[in-house]
Structure 1
Amino acid sequence: MALYPPLEPFHHEYLAVGDGHELYLEQCGNPDGVPVVVLHGGPGGGSSPLLRRLFDPRHYRIVIHDQRGAGKSRPRAGTNHNTLAHLVDDIERIRQHLGVSRWQVVMGGSWGSTLALSYALEHGERVASLVLRGVFLCRRQDMDWLYTEHGAARYRPEQWQRLVEALPAGEGTVLARYHAALAACEDQNEEGMRLAREWTRWETHLSTLIPLTGVDVDDHAWPMARLETHYFVHEGFLPEPLLPRCARLYCPVEIVHGSYDLVCPPEQAWLLHQTLPDSRLRWVPGAGHATSEAGIGEALIAAVHRLEQRGGLA
């Protein structure tokens, strides 16, 4: 199933959620359609026009926002009052603000899957179904895979060496050192942007099966690097491990995962599928992590259609 044509929002606004944060919020598709909310990755990745193309705009009211500090939200890259609990509360504020009684689909990719599961655990009565892409369980071992020499570094050694050598000399893990170095920089000063580019380039290089060349990461490097390091040194601000709690979720869940995902190894999707009482796992052969990878977007659209066929999306 092909992606839907490019789509412009029919409404966008800034929503104040307290603590000095304002979220960029947009709505696309049918104003009277079935309400769905799409959660971007990162943390700090920001939304993309690609996310608008995963639902039939004639049938769905598509709600997308930039999470605290990400994308167009203000303050940019702000880490104060920015935790998982805040992000979960923000989704609920958006629901109430828009007068939506229940999200028919909560779709989240990568970090967005962590957030979607956390929201469903906290507000299960407001979630009819979940569609998850590139599952990230946010365990210590998942972050070690990304940011130690024992994980993805073994598949991309040159890029790993570049990431490490970009750091000033110091003690501690690569994650802890990047977090400290970025926190010490003034907002987007020259040194901070240099480090942010290297941090973001590493993940971008891992995100596709065939590594991309010449990718410009400047637009989102600073919030991505600041927020990812902020969240990951605090283990995602999870109150307790996510996976065991997911056994309490009884809504239908569709899981889409690239079979060669180097950002979120496929084990995470498999374990989640085994834990969730009502889930279906679709492997996308020959695909990596990104929504733009061949087959990922189409598999997400097909997942929504399967939920429609079950009769859950009225």
Structure 2
Amino acid sequence: MLTLRDGAQIYWETTGNPAGTPLLWLHGGPGTGLLSGGYKRAPDPKSWLIVGLDQRACGRSRPLANEPGFDLSTLQTPALIADLEELRQHLGIERWLVAGGSWGTTLAMAYGQAHPERVTGFVLTAVTDGSRGYVEWISESVERVFPEAWEAYEAASGRAPGQRLLDAYVERLTDPNPRVRDAAAMAWCTWEDAHMSIPHRVAPDLASRDPQFREVYALQVAYSWANNAFLGEQGILDNIHRICHLPAVLIHGRLDISGPVGTARRLHRQWPGSQLVIVEHEGHGGPDMGAALRQAYTDLLPIVCAS
């Protein structure tokens, strides 16, 4: 555990070659934690020093976001970026390749934009950009694809007329009544399972996890989305110029409903140093995405070693 500047603690771990090329993996959510540690399987452990962490207030990090009196403002993206810098300094790493999946791609790019001199490149899977357009798609417009699941999700929010769905969920997920919080978290996770289900090769099963996981996860995601990930209207695109000189591989499933492939294409068009890999038969994850991830690490290794 690393004790941070404000007393919070984050869990971190390393694997691979202690003398290898540093690689930081950022999990999704926000709020999933590292889960089973599958992120370690893709990079060659003989070539890379692989660093993973449970981001602030989730997984094995403490305190958790659903604990009484927790200050949600400490989950704003600039604070998470500062956490990564504290970890880098703690480990004595000068520069590292930054990789991530889903929300982890947004955090990876935001970190790189804040500290481009500390990044050798990016490997980004199931790309998201934190923009208002992305948030509106995933929280409202995707109703057009899953109308039945969305209706249940919307009904469970208890939102008042004119209230944004995300704001209603943040209210319910911070309600003093644990039954209200648990019901909201279950509804949220059931909805997430639905829109991540295509093409049925990946089963997130968020709703089947323990109540504490569901509550921490749902609260962190709802709070982040309700505030456009604290990155402004355009999200990552506003400052893409700060990292577009760095090499990157963007990996995205053609069938990804959770984050349409157009997001990755827009980033690629504005990022001369990037390579876009579209995996035709995958959605928000899957075995073919894993194969593309392994290849990306192999392809970038000589490039980042030479930088």
After TM superposition, the score normalised by the length of structure 2 is 0.90
Q: Mapping of 1:73-88 within 5 angstroms?
A: 73-77=61-65, 78=70, 79-88=72-81
Q: Does 1:109 align with 2:101?
A: yes
Deviations 1:259-298 (A, max 9, x none): 01111111100000001120000001110113xx131111
In structure 1, the residue matched to 2:164 is 173
Task: State, as a whole percentage, how many aligned pairs show the same letter.
Answer: 33
5+ residue gaps, structure 1, are 1-13
In structure 2, the residue matched to 1:133 is 125
- CA positional deviation for 1:240: 6.6
5+ residue gaps, structure 2, are none
- CA positional deviation for 1:62: 0.7
Quick one: structure 1 residues 101 and 185, their matched pair in 2 at CA, closer, same or farther if it must change by over 3 Å?
A: same
- CA positional deviation for 1:300: 0.7
Query: Aligned letter for 2:166?
Result: L
In structure 2, the residue matched to 1:153 is 143
In structure 1, the residue matched to 2:55 is 67
In structure 2, the residue matched to 1:39 is 26
RMSD: 1.9
Match for 2:3 among 6, 16, 26? 16
Quick one: structure 1 residues 313 and 225, their matched pair in 2 at CA, closer, same or farther if it must change by over 3 Å?
A: farther
**Partner-residue secondary structure (3-state), 1:180:** helix
Match for 2:226 among 222, 230, 233? 233
In structure 2, the residue matched to 1:93 is 86
- CA positional deviation for 1:213: 9.1
- CA positional deviation for 1:80: 4.0
Aligned residues, how many? 294
- CA positional deviation for 1:63: 0.4
Query: Aligned letter for 2:11?
Result: Y
Q: Comparing both structures, which one devotes a greater share of its residues to helix?
A: 2
In structure 2, the residue matched to 1:244 is 238
**Residues 201, 217 of structure 1: 8 Å contact kept:** no
Deviations 1:32-69 (A, max 9, x none): 22111000111112113111112111221110001111
Q: Does 1:56 align with 2:44?
A: yes
**Partner-residue secondary structure (3-state), 1:71:** coil
Query: Aligned letter for 2:181?
Result: G
**Residues 200, 217 of structure 1: 8 Å contact kept:** no
Distance in 1 (CA, whole Å) between partners of 2:8 and 2:197 is: 32
In structure 2, the residue matched to 1:255 is 250
Query: Aligned letter for 2:134?
Result: D
Deviations 1:52-94 (A, max 9, x none): 1121112211100011112111111252422100111111111
- CA positional deviation for 1:157: 1.6
Quick one: structure 1 residues 309 and 30, their matched pair in 2 at CA, closer, same or farther if it must change by over 3 Å?
A: closer
Quick one: structure 1 residues 280 and 197, their matched pair in 2 at CA, closer, same or farther if it must change by over 3 Å?
A: same
Match for 1:283 among 278, 282, 285? 278
**Residues 197, 217 of structure 1: 8 Å contact kept:** no
In structure 1, the residue matched to 2:176 is 185
Distance in 2 (CA, whole Å) between partners of 1:279 and 1:41 is: 21
Quick one: structure 1 residues 125 and 169, their matched pair in 2 at CA, closer, same or farther if it must change by over 3 Å?
A: closer
In structure 2, the residue matched to 1:4 is none
In structure 1, the residue matched to 2:136 is 144
Distance in 2 (CA, whole Å) between partners of 1:185 and 1:60 is: 45
Distance in 1 (CA, whole Å) between partners of 2:124 and 2:304 is: 19
Query: Aligned letter for 2:214?
Result: A
Query: Aligned letter for 1:262?
Result: I
After TM superposition, the score normalised by the length of structure 1 is 0.88
